Amino acid sequence: MTKQDKAVLITGASSGIGRATALGLDAAGYQVFAGVRKVEDGLALKAEASDALAPLLLDVTDGDAVAGAAARVGEETEGNLFGLVNNAGLSLNGPLEIIPDSEIRRLFEVNVLGLLAVTRPFIPLLRKAQGRLVNVSSGHGLLAVPDKSVYAASKFAVQAISDSLRLELRPFGVSVSNLVVGKVDTAVLEKILDERERVAKAADPAVLELYSPLFEFFDREVKDLPGIPPEEVAKVVAEALTTPKPKAQYLVGPGARKMRNLSRLPRRLREGLMYKALYGARRP
């Protein structure tokens, strides 16, 4: 297969990592199907891409949309899909006690069930092309920290799915890579802050006060940490799709490496360090 014959589908291509990846692979000569949720997002992406890039209306939580996308991609590629990049995802921050059930369900619908729902119908196309599956995860898929219980659970699930499928699909020549991504400078960061504020405002003030050290730590240590541009992540996605021997796991950005290193510490030491960072000398 020549590069021009290699088709790649990217979910969540409206902004951030997905958009940067779609434009980067399009510029490199790949046949790109860019999954977006709104027509206007597809038009905006198309305005910066070549004529070959094809926006694809794809809400990963909509079964009919997923089935339609699989049928279209299968038809236009003659059943050969070289790459599937599962990038679509949501973030959710806050102590579990103040997060509504509806928000938890929405997160898992996108980050876990949506990823599975998209991957399943495209496996035959990946198998025929002996292609590559790339799942975009997070450092929180390696290390669960306070304030991230729901989000970390979803990203640990992504890690588990990648590890399982890596062996499940190996007999067919399909590789599976997991991208562990640290903090990325995208518009998503503003959405995270807005969501955090909205959830906090809806919480019982007395309960919110109990978790004030978590919010103070986030504002003091996390919010202003330097991130990397989405184009840097897009380069690693391209590497996972092009290198002769793709890695099982890629660490992208300093935050990801820090989470990996912390996860390797003995549990008692690791949790002691985190507790001290959050609460100082306060005893439970």
Query: Which of 192, 204, 213 lies closest to 100, judged by CA?
Result: 204
- Would residue 275 show up in a list of annotated catalytic residues for this protein? no
**Residue 137 β-bridge partners:** 180
Query: Which of 209, 153, 263, 148 lies closest to 273, judged by CA?
Result: 263
Q: In this structure, which amino acid lies at residue 93?
A: N
Beta-strand relationship, 54-57 and 31-36: parallel
Choice among 30, 151, 211, 250 that is catalytic: 151
**Backbone phi, psi, residue 83, to 5°:** -140, 135
- Residue numbers annotated as active site: 151
